[in-house]
Chains A and B, each alone.
Chain A
Amino acid sequence: MPQTLMAFLAMMVASIAAYNQQMSSVRSQEDRIRSELEMMASAVALHEIEVTAASKSWTALDDLDDTSGTADFSLDTISVAFNWEWDVRYVDDLGEISATPTDLKEAEVTITHDRWPIDLVIIARTFGL
Chain B
Amino acid sequence: MSATIVFATIAFVLAITQFNMQQDTAEATIAYMAKKHLLGFAELIEDEFELIGEGISGTKIESLTSDSDGRTTSFIFNREISTVDTQIEYRLVPVDTVQSKGRDVPIFRVDRYEGTTKIGGGPSMLSDFRVELLTSSGGAASTSTAKVVKITMSLAHNLGNMDDSNVNVSYWGMTLRPASLDT
Q: A28-B24, A76-B128 are in contact. Are A43 and B17 (CB under 8 A)?
A: no
Task: Give the size of the chain A interface in residues (CB under 8 angstroms).
Answer: 34
A interface secondary structure, majority: helix
Cross-interface CB contact of B166 among A32, A42, A44, A51, cutoff 8 Å = A32
Query: In the complex, which residues 1-33 of chain A have their Cβ closer than 8 Å to any Cβ of chain B?
Result: 3, 7, 10-11, 14-15, 17-18, 21-22, 24-25, 28-29, 32-33
- In the complex, the answer to whether B170 meets A39 with C-beta atoms within 8 Å is yes
- In the complex, the answer to whether A18 meets B17 with C-beta atoms within 8 Å is yes
Q: Does A36 contact B (CB under 8 A)?
A: yes
A3 and B19 alpha carbons, distance in the complex (Å): 28
- In the complex, the answer to whether B150 meets A47 with C-beta atoms within 8 Å is yes
A-B contact count (CB 8 A): 104
Closest to B12 in A: A14
Closest to A40 in B: B171
- In the complex, the answer to whether A75 meets B128 with C-beta atoms within 8 Å is yes
Q: Which residues of A contact B166 (CB under 8 A)?
A: 29, 32
Q: Does A53 contact B (CB under 8 A)?
A: yes
- In the complex, the answer to whether B177 meets A40 with C-beta atoms within 8 Å is no
Q: Which residues of A contact B17 (CB under 8 A)?
A: 14, 17-18, 21
Comparing B75-83, B88-96, B111-119, B134-142, the segment that makes contact with chain A is B134-142
Q: A51-B138, A55-B136, A76-B128 are in contact. Are A11 and B177 (CB under 8 A)?
A: no
